A and B are shown apart, each in its own frame.
Chain A
Amino acid sequence: QVQLQESGPGLVKPSGTLSLTCAVSGGSISGRSWWSWVRQPPGKGLEWIGETYHSGSTNYNPSLKSRVTISVDKSKNQFSLKLSSVTAADTAMYYCARNGGSTNFDHWGQGTLVTVSS
């Protein structure tokens, strides 16, 4: 059973860079799946941030594309998110998830809350 676990700082200063890692266990990140980041501001809905494939290919939400980098580390079986120039609007629960095919997210991490504040 594939499991995902997010990790990273829970507090980031405005204008700084948010950095999170998602460790994948119970399966290889080098399989046929795409790996995504999804966020959810407090009390609001889900927002897809972007995805990566083990080859390094990526797709990003156009509204965040200028600030987002998602990368994969096959040696550690993990993938990462960097979001630059953060503001309070980036405060959210951040989830990593596996796209099991046909854009269905069949495995999710438990989520990590990131607060942007000085």
Chain B
Amino acid sequence: QSVLTQPPSVSAAPGQKVTISCSGSSSSIGNNYVSWYQQLPGTAPKLLIFENNKRPSGIPDRFSGSKSGTSATLGITGLQTGDEADYYCGTWENSLTAVLFGGGTKLTVL
């Protein structure tokens, strides 16, 4: 059981905006950077957001990240069918001295 909580699924229409939440604790998100990953079917995860709100080179600005307290949010605007994937948040957990991943959120673009 993951201690980073994400909604199992979200959906929205093409062109719309969606947000995915990731809830943790003071010893995880509250005191550490959050990263976000996109996993397309049958492929390895891909880094989308690091250090809460930074995008690696090549990631479009349709993807954004934010953090407030012990929660983080991934935002995706201008949804495309190609964005259908599983999305995971990740961070360090101080009390466990370990990396945590959220349980994942399946995005459906209707």
A residues near B (Cβ < 8 Å) are 36, 38, 45-48, 51, 59-62, 95, 100, 102-106, 108-111
Contact = CB atoms under 8 A, between A and B. Distances in A.
Contacts of A36: 99
B104 A46 contact: yes
Nearest to A46: B101
Interface of B: 2, 32-33, 35, 37, 44-47, 50-51, 56, 86, 88, 90-92, 96-104
B98 A105 contact: no
A103 B88 CA distance: 13
Nearest to A4: B44
A105 B45 contact: yes
Nearest to B98: A61
B6 to A, nearest CB: 9
A100 B50 CA distance: 9
